[in-house]
Amino acid sequence: MPWTTVQVEKLDNFFIKGDSTGDRVLTYREALHEAFDQSLARDPKVFIMGEGVDDVAGVFGTTKGLKEKYGENRVFDTPISENSLTGIAAGAAMAGLRPIFIHARMDFLLLSLDQLVNHASKWCYMFGGKVKVPMVVRTISARGWGSGAQHSQCIQGMLMNVPGLKIVAPATPYDAKGLMVSSIIDNSPVLFVEHRWLHKTTGHVPEELYSIPIGKGVIRRKGEDITIVAVSYMLVEALKAAEKLQESGISAEVVDPRTLKPLDEEILLESVAKTGRLLITDTGCKTGGTASEISALVCEKAFHLLKKPIVRVCCPDAPTPASDVLEKAYYPDSETICREVKNLLK
């Protein structure tokens, strides 16, 4: 069994409440699978490619059985050529198709930055909107089990600096399906950021095809004393922290931006206007990351609303260590968030 599976199976079965009504419960992984299945069925222009997408594991189960159902022209394995495959996906998109290109680790995305940044993201602007690149680049980060420095990176913050690229980072099964559908039907390149530790998370997911607007965040938990903006997997840690903080009489509002670019400024600023305190937690490294950008945005537009300095809870500026002891010291969790919130409210 692959190590990531071992690690993820050990996690609690975290249930996300209040995302949608109905009693149909799916895991994040199943929700994604359904998004692919329904999108492939709905639009013959959609196809999926990437290393191992058609093998027995099917990218942690998210693409399992799709080749058998839709054929090898719609779901196929690729050589390990991340950069050119990104350009090949972009070229296919320019010719009218809607490719989904998958990196099983976000680290591998770094090999493709020429085609992603220099080409796909710039093409629409550089040619005055005459050529569109409707493609999805799906990446999965992981953590734990000694993954180490090259199998655990979360570089979404780095890529927020790329004009023309949309970035979504859904944290719930409902959002995973809805935002994958939105990413596929969007006419710009979209980076779909997933975290392996979310794959087992469960929540209500409607069976029908639906989309969620890109650029719209959501309030996951209402509160008065502090705003916690939580990105991707850190939402799970933030919700756990908010529950614990409640026991100490602290009312935390948890905001899930869902899309990192373009950011939902309104929801962030409204929440800060209410609480006057802000903690941002992201899965990536601290400097120049997602949390930095959100922090800058709030300072720029709502400095007068802040009662206290902004706090960022992220990974430190160091490569990920493999040792379980060092890993534990490296990754922030709900305890870290609780501690920082309490410090802030002192």
Could you list the residues that contact other proteins (CB under 8 A)? 47, 73-74, 78-79, 81, 83-97, 114-115, 118-119, 123-134, 163-164, 166, 187-188
- Maximal CA-CA distance, the chain: 60
Q: Minimum distance between the CB of residue 79 and other proteins, rounded to whole angstroms?
A: 6
- For other proteins, which is the closer residue by CB, 134 or 257? 134
- For other proteins, which is the closer residue by CB, 161 or 248? 161
Contact (Cβ atoms closer than 8 angstroms) between residue 217 and residue 169:
no
Alpha-carbon distances of 185 from 45, 136, 142, 169, 214, rounded to whole Å: 10, 9, 27, 16, 11
- For other proteins, which is the closer residue by CB, 45 or 274? 45
- For other proteins, which is the closer residue by CB, 69 or 339? 69
Q: Minimum distance between the CB of residue 179 and other proteins, rounded to whole angstroms?
A: 16
151 is catalytic: yes
Q: Minimum distance between the CB of residue 99 and other proteins, rounded to whole angstroms?
A: 8
Q: What is the Cα–Cα distance from 54 to 79, expressed in whole angstroms?
A: 13
Strand order in the sheet with 15-16: 15-16, 202-204, 25-27
Rg (CA), the chain: 19
Contact (Cβ atoms closer than 8 angstroms) between residue 202 and residue 15:
yes
Given the residues 51, 82, 293, 327, the one annotated as active site = 82
Contact (Cβ atoms closer than 8 angstroms) between residue 170 and residue 199:
no
Q: What secondary structure does DSSP assign to 262-313, as a single string?
A: S--HHHHHHHHHHHS-EEEEEEEESTTSHHHHHHHHHHHHHGGG-SS--EEE
Q: What is the Cα–Cα distance from 346 to 343, expressed in whole angstroms?
A: 5
- For other proteins, which is the closer residue by CB, 90 or 315? 90
- The first and second tokens of residue 214, run together, are 């890109």
Q: Minimum distance between the CB of residue 44 and other proteins, rounded to whole angstroms?
A: 9
Given the residues 33, 151, 195, 204, the one annotated as active site = 151
- The first and second tokens of residue 125, run together, are 């602007």
Active-site residues: which are they? 82, 151
